[in-house]
Structure 1
Amino acid sequence: MATAKIVLNASRDIPFNKLVLSQANVRKVKAGVSIEELAEDIARRTLLHSLAVRPVLDAEGAEGAETGVYEVPVGGRRFRALELLVKQKRMTKTQPVPCVVRTGGFAEEDSLAENLQREPLHPLDQFRAFQTLREAGLGEEEIAARFFVGAGVVKQRLKLATVAAPLLDAYADDKMTLEQLMAFTVTDDQARQEQVWEALSKAYSREPYQIRRLLTEGAVRASDKRALFVGLEAYEAAGGVVMRDLFLHDDGGWLQDPALLDRLVAEMLEAEAATVRAEGWKWVEVALAFPYGHSRGLRRLSGEPVPLSEAEQATYDALHAEYERLEGNDPADAGELDAVAQRFVEIDVALRALEDRPAVYETAEVARAGVFVSVDAEGQLQIDRGYVRPEDEAPVEPVAVPGNDGQVATPSAAGAGGAVAAQPAIITGNAQVSAPAPVSVVGPEAPKEEEGLRPLPDRLLTELSVHRTLALRDAVAGDPDIAFLAALHALCLRSFYQRGGGSCLDLELKSAGFGVQPPDLAASASAKAIDARQRSWGGQLPQAAADLWATLSAFDGDSRAALFAHCVSFGVNAVHEPWNRNPQRLAHADALAQAVGLDMAAAGWAPTVDAYLGRVPKARILEAVREARGPEAAQLIDHLRKPDMAKEAERLLAGSGWLPEPLRPPTDASMEGDAGAEGDDTEVLPAFLTGDGEAPVPTEAVAA
């Protein structure tokens, strides 16, 4: 039997005004490219697909007679786009339109078949087509305009087309998802792409985040303070390469050459240090970051800020006046309110720039002081000028103090000002306190003692002073305000003055040194708050320790209490010390934490890879995620290697407020258990927090 031959439908050009939209079109829901965009595409490229039409028959005349009008059941969107072009007078209504004329079957069947049989373009074909157009000379913006997409979309598609060919083949064969392919675009190193895919092809999980982490392993994030300090432009100008992720927020990308970055940081810091050395300082220390507390025990010079010039003062006054004027006006609408708020910010920035004046120091002080040059947590240059080491202090001139043997006595210096401390009062034979005798330099012309007025014997002076000390203790005990002031005076001498000054109160304040420090301790919220408070109080206290008592006496009660709390805080030691187990001390630390309502999550601590997750076993990582996010979240990462597990756990725990047991708020039961553990040799904290085998560093008792 002969096979029937297929006869295709005839095609012809039909004037547009002879076409009408058929109600048999099955597409009712709008989807895809808009009619306006399709009209623009037809105007640029003309019609690429013919319309499928059916003749409209005359229902009143002879049966089956054609009317010369054709309905359009297939190509309704194209018909509407042509109709829009006619309305815009960009096409005549008699323009011939290519059409395929159908006569048999149902119009609804034609419309349904046309939409169901259509095979969408594979994304990879689109990527490669964009790449072909790019190679033909079209720019990204031009390609975007021709296909009604954003330039960013074109960049993404072009980036996908540059992935290694074996990976594109894997994607075409459905062996790789689009999300996985997108992750490989982080790097342009196709050999590295293939290595990672080969390694992951044998793994249980091939999540996109794992691909990104493997490809960026060893790279430095652009948000790292080293990268912020150098700047991406300078890094790239020096030959550095930056990896970017066009599909996810990447904080600026990853710098692929850490060695180059570190060299640039060192060179920039050394250049800044050379400028500072030219100012005449005795020493300049340079480091990316100094350990927290590195300036403790050094005297800080108090320089005078450079005065404002006439022009700067005029600008300062004008900004202040504008600020006050804006404060007194009520914005009329939301738009004006936003503009005023923005102006407030601008004025505040300008005022801060004028108020942040460089300081001028005495030449003699500069010659014995030094400077620390480093980079702060935000990647900004940090120059801390004016620190004097104890061994660089000016020598104290010997002075003569009247005494039993007439020998020279050398009093201690009075702290930050370098002034000689006030001489102690002398108890005379009538048991009254008198001012010290005139001090004179011992030398060949020193005046001789008057005959008949010899100093009291040391033994008698000691006995008399014992009586006075006992009476003074009793008097101080009866005056709590003065007792508080005396304690505050002693604490301030040790907290703000290098050599401590002089206090008759035998009161010591020791501050635990942090021989082992967590990463970026100086950048923590607590460290910044303490340093800011220390600077604030330091600016309110006198330069000379001899003037401290009068200054504190003039403070109101609230100021004294706040300053007292600040000084006492330096003595808090809740550090876990394996060589110094003291359950009572740690139990008291818990009680103190409970009393002040300490919340470590609110204080800024977070479970990061460096701070916790990278230093504990996998079981504890999973326990943390399970407690914070539930068992389902823990199951998502339980198959990962520990480095990947720690990184993913950091992401999952972000913002959860989860804390490990040693940092959680203490409970009454736990405090009672600690207090009753005297003599117990068990570890107070888990062993995994005691370090990685480093030799313990003793806590250094230093003056706060």
Structure 2
Amino acid sequence: AAAFFVSVAVVKQRLKLASLSLRLLDTYAEDGLTLDQLMAFTVSGDHERQEQVLDRLAQTYDKQPHVIRRMLTEGAVRASDKRTRFIGIDAYETAGGTVLRDLFQGDDGGWLQDVTLVDRMVAEKLAAEADAIRSEGWKWIEVAPDFAYGHTYGLRQLRGEPAPLADEEEAAREAAQAEYDRLSEEHTDADELPEGVDARLGELEAMLEAFETRPLAFDPAEVARAGAFVSIAQDGKLRVERGFVRPEDEVPVEEDHDPSIETDGDTHTASAPRQEAVVTDARAEPEEDDGLAPISDRLLTELTTHRTLGLRHALGEQPDSAFLAAVHALTLKAFYAYGSDTCLELDLKSVSFNAQAPGLKDSVSAEAIRVRHESWAKTLPKEPGTLWDTLSGWDLDSRAALFAHVVSLSVNAVHEAWNRRPRAFAHADRLAQAVGLDMAAAGWRPTVDTFLGRVTKARILQAVTEAKGERAAERIAHLKKGDMAREAEALLADSGWLPEALRTQPSDTAGEETAEKDGETAMADSEDLADTEEPEAISSSIAAE
């Protein structure tokens, strides 16, 4: 590099080209490959694999460089995959794994070629982490790189308490908080923080967050019948979900008994005389000389019926109290194992999903719901008996936020072939309009796995036409379905296109105006594309990854 006044990267690129299979170099010398195609082959250093792809290329219509890269990396694990981030590329290479890299284009860290080694290293590291979690005394541990969304459905989660800080830890936390407050106050008016101050604030934030997110402490008796799930989070970090009790491990709930009717052998309490085999009128009142005997069940039912009507009438005239009662009842259902601490006959159903869409558990929405639910769980009292007093002390905004979260858990707009619910779906559309739902903004993307590889070629072309215009669709119309789906994924990336089932329809008036504008825009874009772009530029743009 120094001798020829070029960068080190250029030298590495030339050396990589020179290391290709001699058959590829001969083909390039005979003008059988372009330089861009030859550069694409450098992704893999395996000469046999390179020549296999060269043979496949001769039978393929599309010979674009990105197609070559895709063929060479088929089955490999991307460096951005959460499994890769979990074990670390350095550890993988130390274990003898090969990393495919592209020196001529951005490769997002490359591809890990030895998938078997990746899976083995992931399993071994997860097993080691699970052993450490098992030593905490849990009855069972389930380990997997990933669990399906809703895998904790039907299980009761224990309510732990943050482990108390030692005196030294408490002093360290207070010192960090004091320093953070001082630095923030000193630079309140600064347009830009000095580099050293900014770095220190980041360190202090990390320290304070570690104090706030310290592990929870659980009742040892509860730990002995509960378990934990050990998996990998989307960012590649270890995810441990502790404290879930299976129904078969629950302690039987004892029914409440009225002490006035309990017996001790053949001896009966004075307030509950032995029942003789004599049929009496349930409506009959006790005799005067019976003393303070319990009132009959029939009379008690009648009295409480009057009280229930009185409560209904009074609650119906006090919206604030009714809202508090509803929040209380639904929160019991959502966060506590036994939601019987309420007289309201309100129910909350949160269905599990039988069909697991690809990436559902790691989606933006799923992660946001999980974090929000855990945040509320930490805020609510541990015992359901104190929930009413806690909610009574909250302001209206806090109650409303909790109410929104709890009610959101009951939404079910899932299409099921055996369960026709047209009115429910119509209401889901209205609800989506009310909340301004945008599934593209929520993180959904049309990929080969989520949509394009699972529909017909006609629907793939329809999607590309809607998002990019007819000319873009025509460019991929000749491809086989698999190749068409992959090309369409690249074309639709970040386009915001959604299949009809995911679209939020605007109101009638707004919809007409939007449709008219979209039609005009599409026509203008089509004319601009035809007038300004050369065919080669169009092809390059469409084929780009």
User: TM class, shorter-chain normalised?
Assistant: 0.7 to 0.9
How do 1:303-314 residues align onto structure 2 when only pairs under 5 Å count?
Answer: 303-314=160-171
Q: Is 1:510 aligned to residue 354 of structure 2? A: no
Match of 1:198 among 49, 55, 66: 55
Give the C-alpha shift of residue 311 in structure 1: 4.1
Task: Name 1:301's counterpart in structure 2.
Answer: 158
Indicate how the Cα distance of structure 1 residues 338 and 646 shifts in structure 2: closer, same or farther if over 3 A, else same: farther
- The Cα shift of 1:303 comes to 2.6
Aligned counterpart in structure 1 of residue 364 of structure 2, from 514, 525, 536: 525
Q: Are 1:628 and 2:467 counterparts? A: yes
SS in structure 2 opposite 1:456? Answer: coil
Distance 1:154 1:617 in 2: 46
Distance 2:256 2:209 in 1: 47
What is aligned with 2:284? none
User: SS where residue 387 of structure 1 aligns?
Assistant: strand
Does residue 189 of the first structure (1) align with residue 39 of the second (2)?
A: no
**Does structure 1 residue 464 correspond to structure 2 residue 303?**
yes
Contact 1:243/1:254 (CA < 8 Å) preserved in 2? yes
| 2:419 aligned residue | 580
Matched, 1:374 2:227: no
Contact 2:153 2:352 in 1 (8 A): no
Residue equivalent to 2:125: 268
User: Are positions 1:550 and 2:389 aligned together?
Assistant: yes
Kindly indicate whether residue 127 of structure 2 is the aligned counterpart of residue 288 of structure 1. no
Q: C-alpha distance in 2, partners of 1:671/1:369? A: 53
Distance 1:311 1:479, change over 3 A: closer
Matched position secondary structure for 1:251: coil
Residue of structure 1 equivalent to 2:337 = 498
Contact 1:374/1:383 (8 A) holds in 2: yes
Deviations, residues 247-273 of structure 1 (Å, cap 9, x unaligned) = 111122111222221122112111211
Q: Which residue of 1 aligns with 2:531?
A: none
Instruction: Indicate the residue corresponding to 2:271 in structure 1.
Output: 449
Q: TM-score, with normalisation over the residues of structure 1?
A: 0.66
- State the match for 1:160 in structure 2: 17
Cα deviations across residues 498-548 of structure 1 (Å, max 9, x unaligned)? 121322111112122211011221211111121122112212221111111
Q: Aligned letter for 2:83? A: R
What percentage of aligned pairs have identical amino acids? 57
Q: Which amino acid aligns with 2:369?
A: I
Post-superposition Cα deviations, 1:615-652, rounded to whole Å, max 9, x if no partner, equal 11222222222222233333333333322222222222
The 2-side partners of 1:507 and 1:382 are apart by: 34
Q: Indicate the larger mover: 497-506 or 372-381.
A: 497-506
User: Is 2:262–2:269's contact at 8 Å kept on the other side of the alignment?
Assistant: no
- Cα shift readout 1:181-204 (whole Å, capped 9, x = no counterpart): 010011111122112112212332
Structure 2 contact 262–268 (Cα < 8 Å) conserved: no
Question: Does the aligned pair in 2 maintain the 1:227–1:379 contact within 8 Å?
Answer: yes
SS in 2 for 1:463: helix
What is the aligned partner in structure 2 of residue 482 from structure 1? 321
Q: 2:179 aligns with which of 322, 328, 337?
A: 322
2:208 pairs with one of 327, 351, 356: 351
The residue that corresponds to 2:448 in the other structure is 609
Out of 508, 514, 539, the residue aligned to residue 378 of structure 2 is 539
Unaligned 5+ segments in structure 1 are: 1-143, 409-441, 673-704
Highest RCO, 1 vs 2 (Cα 8 Å, sep ≥ 6) = 2
Cα 1:443–1:272 change in 2 (3 A) is: farther
Q: Which runs of 5+ in 2 are unaligned?
A: 273-289, 512-545
Partner residue in 2 for 1:401? 258
Please point out which of 79, 82, 101 is paired with 1:244. Answer: 101
Q: What secondary structure, in the 3-state scheme, does the structure 1 residue paired with 2:242 have? A: strand
Residue identity opposite 1:317 in structure 2: E
Please say if residues 187 and 193 of structure 2, whose CA atoms lie closer than 8 Å, have aligned partners that are also in contact: no
Taking the aligned partners of 2:82 and 2:151, their CA distance within structure 1 comes to: 20
Deviations 1:124-155 (A, max 9, x none): xxxxxxxxxxxxxxxxxxxx111111111111
Structure 2 equivalent of residue 387 of structure 1 = 244
Tell me by how many angstroms 1:494 deviates. 0.5
Range 314-323 or range 576-585, more displaced: 314-323
Q: Which residue of 2 aligns with 1:591?
A: 430
Alignment-mate amino acid for residue 59 of structure 2: K
Residue aligned with 2:142, SS: strand
Letter in 2 for 1:556: D
2:88 aligns with one of 231, 248, 259: 231
SS state of the match for residue 494, structure 2? coil
Change (3 A) 1:317 1:445: farther
Indicate the SS of the match to 2:358.
coil
Q: Give the match for residue 520 of structure 2.
A: none
Q: Is the 8 A contact 1:167 1:194 kept in 2?
A: yes
Which residue of 2 is the match for residue 365 of structure 1? 222
| One-letter identity of the residue aligned with 2:242 | R
Structure 2 equivalent of residue 651 of structure 1: 490
- The 3-state SS of whatever aligns with 1:400 is coil
> How far, CA to CA, are the matches of 2:80 and 2:252 in structure 1?
47
Give the aligned residue type for 1:273: A
Q: Deviations over 1:2-46 (max 9, x none)?
A: xxxxxxxxxxxxxxxxxxxxxxxxxxxxxxxxxxxxxxxxxxxxx
- TM superposition score normalised by structure 2: 0.85
Q: Secondary structure at the residue paired with 1:542?
A: coil
CA distance in 1, matches of 2:346, 2:182: 52
Structure 1 contact 331–337 (Cα < 8 Å) conserved:
no
Q: Which residue number corresponds to residue 414 of structure 1?
A: none
Whichever structure has more helix as a proportion of its residues is 2
Q: CA deviation at 1:372?
A: 0.8
Give 1:593 shift.
0.6
For residues 223 and 356 of structure 2, the distance between their equivalents in structure 1, rounded to whole angstroms, comes to 31
CA deviation profile, 1:305-360 (whole Å, cap 9, x unmatched): 33334444343333322322222234998775444334332322232233321222
- The structure whose residues are more often strand, as a share, is 1
Q: Which deviations, in whole Å up to 9, do the C-alpha atoms of 1:186-239 show, x marking residues without a partner? A: 111112211211221233221000000111111111111111112222222333
- Structure 1 671/288 Cα, relative in aligned 2: closer, same or farther at 3 Å? farther
Are residues 168 and 331 of structure 1, via their aligned partners in 2, closer, same or farther at CA, if it must alter by over 3 Å?
farther
Distance in 2 of aligned mates of 1:260 and 1:179: 31
Residue 31 (structure 2) aligns with: 174
SS of equivalent residue, structure 1 residue 511: coil
